Amino acid sequence: MLRIITANLNGIRSAWSKGFSAWAAGQGADVICLQELKAQACDLSPEMRAPAGFHAYYHCAAKKGYAGVGLWCRRQPDAVVEGIGNAEFDAEGRYLRADFGRLSVISLYVPSGSSSPERQEAKFRFLDVFYPHLVNLAQCGREIVICADWNIAHQEIDLKNWRSNQKNSGFLPEERAWIGRVLAEAGWTDVYRRLHPEATEACYTWWSNRGRAWAKNVGWRLDYQLATPALAASAIAAAVYKQQRFSDHAPLSIDYDWHDERSSMPAGSCH
């Protein structure tokens, strides 16, 4: 079995102080994908650099206290790839990939557009840049899972108050259409939705800090694992962990009936 967890930490130091590392150590995960580190390499403690039982890799943003992604891997990867080759977004620390034989696991943090019109435009630029990369990944012959805070709720069942959010970042028609195209045309499967096609409240992974959203479960599903078809078809269980709060997001764990096989495929065959 292959267990992969994705978690937006809204600050690794904050999540660490709330017990995230102790929880993660007990999950039996093969790979844990982290987003929104809000830390640079110099801010990471020795324990964060080498969490017990894992090989840790980070792609931090150039801007202090901003963005950043990470991968904790039970087994040392054959190769680690940082960034997508785009100067604007690579400086923000948004993409990190680990290769294991013919399997790749990617931690991705899609920009949020909620803070300003300028950031929404940056988000649209990222979606334009990243779509061809998604197509290339899907066609390169590897089995891949992309764990991300996509900052987009795809369908009406993916958030509580969809009617009042149709003009808000994260549920804009253009964003929803982009995710729809990724799933319908680019060769990716939304693994949670494959397992739970009609789930509503149970699927939420993010809650605003305003208006007692957590207590009322007024949430959004923003954190997905998208996988290539064969890998997605092997998924047997998915769960959002809500018993503890490490962040304004909740971790999403998915188990795959996937038997890791070493392959002669070159580790760097996807770009």
Catalytic positions: 149
Give the long-range contacts of residues 237-242, CB within 8 A, separation 24 or more: 237/195, 238/191, 238/192, 238/195, 238/196, 240/202, 240/203, 240/204, 240/205, 241/23
Q: What gap in Å lies between CA 96 and CA 56, rounded to an integer? A: 11
Closest CA to 61 of 29, 39, 28: 39
Q: What gap in Å lies between CA 65 and CA 42, rounded to an integer? A: 11
Helices 117-139/173-184 angle, 10° precision: 0
Contacts of 261 (CB under 8 A, 6+ apart): 101, 102
- For residues 37, 252, 99, 25, the Cα torsion angle rounded to the nearest 10 degrees is 70
Q: What gap in Å lies between CA 58 and CA 174, rounded to an integer? A: 31
252-256/55-59 β-pairing? unpaired
* 3: helix, strand or coil: strand
Helix (H) or strand (E) holding 69: strand 69-73
